Structure 1
Amino acid sequence: MVGDDLTPLPPKYEPLTDYYLHPSEGSQLAICPVLHTVDNYQKWSRSIRNNLRSKSKLGICSTVIIPDDAKTLWDDLCDRYSLGNGPRIFELKHDFNDCKQRDRSVVVYYGELNKLQNLLSSYVKFPDCSCSAAKEYTKLHENESLHQFCLGLEPKKFDFVVSTLCDE
């Protein structure tokens, strides 16, 4: 159909289809607050999935010709946009090692360090281990995280605490 001014009318979506967005679902808002860039595929895809899941729109693709299912689409996007992780891992390791308290509160410093550690762990996956050494590897990783945290604390304020924590 054509409107009075000879412009085509937008297609109408039936409320019972998977693609219908009710006005309360905020169809005028961006579905993802995270803008996709070259180095944030993990964060972007997690945000997209969470938002689609909250609107019960995750997993719909029965009318899409290529790909046949959502997993294929996500795997393709991952392959396409998470290339070049080596430089990103290097950058994150550098930022992680350079993270220091620098006159900030311990809470703010810990938050930044934890954020960098979580980002890094999303790129660098340790293999699952069910052998008897699994607990020892976990303890080593926890000690490494504790040492990294202590290295970034302001020495004048926290020398005693650091020597106590790292004495174990």
Structure 2
Amino acid sequence: MAESSNRTSRYQLPLNQDPTSIYFIHPSDSSSTQLVSVKFNENGFSNWKRSMILTLSAKNKLGFVDGSIEKPEATTTEFKAWERCNDLVSSWIIFNLDDTIAKSVLFLKTAREIWIDLEERFGYTSMTQVYSLEQQLSELNQGNDTISEFFTKIKTLWDAISDAYPLPQCTCQNCTCNLEQIICQIQ
């Protein structure tokens, strides 16, 4: 048994070369990769954020922005791998931002810090914005659009309103949190 474990440890890949590791960097991963279809330019933050989350998750790097992958001590063997991946994720985020916004987060140290900064600046929706979305929805008409095009416009506005002003969810599992009353107060 000891011989078997020695054999596997002798052939163990470095963290950044092991495809199962969170620190794995694929040869096609470059710092100037356009991860989402449109760079964020202060409009549509929730859409941009969702696209980035999906891509980072697919690349097994979401933990660098959501905080679940913590920075290891500088004395550990994984520190260099973490640092390299953090720099890659930071560069992906910066590259997928409009130049003006990118300059404002360029000197933040971690991908998590960049993500938090963007969320704090652009991740909220004011009631004025919600009102504007609701107004757009009330004024929407099919015109010359196909049913599919018209439905897409409606659904886009519904999703934007839902994202801006989500309904509360039950947290107690037994409905002792008065969720029904909370929803009635909102309407």
Normalising to structure 2: TM-score of the pair?
0.50
Contact 1:92/1:119, CA 8 A, preserved across alignment? yes
Contact 1:36/1:44, CA 8 A, preserved across alignment? yes
Q: What letter matches 1:36 in structure 2?
A: F
Contact 1:25/1:55, CA 8 A, preserved across alignment? no
What runs of 5+ residues in structure 2 fail to find an aligned partner? 1-14, 72-82, 87-107
Name the structure 2 match of 1:15.
Answer: 17
- 1:14 offset after TM fit, Å? 4.8
Q: Is 1:104 equivalent to 2:145 in the alignment?
A: yes
Tell me the distance in 1 between the aligned counterparts of 2:110 and 2:57. 19
Normalising to structure 1: TM-score of the pair?
0.55
Identical-pair percentage: 20
SS of the residue aligned with 2:63? coil
SS of the residue aligned with 1:118? helix
Tell me the distance in 1 between the aligned counterparts of 2:27 and 2:149. 38
Q: Give deviations 1:29-53, integer Å, cap 9, x for gaps.
A: 3122232122322111111111111
Q: Is 1:77 equivalent to 2:115 in the alignment?
A: no
Tell me the distance in 2 between the aligned counterparts of 1:59 and 1:47. 15
Tell me the distance in 2 between the aligned counterparts of 1:23 and 1:123. 38
The worse-fitting range, judged by mean Cα deviation, of 73-82 and 19-28 is 19-28
Q: What letter matches 1:15 in structure 2?
A: Q
Tell me the distance in 2 between the aligned counterparts of 1:84 and 1:125. 11
Name the structure 1 match of 2:11.
Answer: none
What runs of 5+ residues in structure 1 fail to find an aligned partner? 1-12, 142-168
Contact 2:134/2:161, CA 8 A, preserved across alignment? yes
Name the structure 2 match of 1:118.
Answer: 159
- 1:133 offset after TM fit, Å? 5.0
- 1:20 offset after TM fit, Å? 5.0
Q: Is 1:49 equivalent to 2:53 in the alignment?
A: yes
Contact 2:168/2:179, CA 8 A, preserved across alignment? no
Contact 2:142/2:150, CA 8 A, preserved across alignment? yes
RMSD across aligned positions (CA): 3.6
Judged with a 3 Å threshold, the aligned counterparts in structure 2 of structure 1 residues 69 and 52 are, in CA distance, closer, same or farther, namely closer
Say which of 45, 58, 64 aligns to 2:62.
58
Instruction: Give the paired residue count.
Output: 123
For 1:80-95, list aligned pairs within 5 A.
80-83=121-124, 85-95=126-136
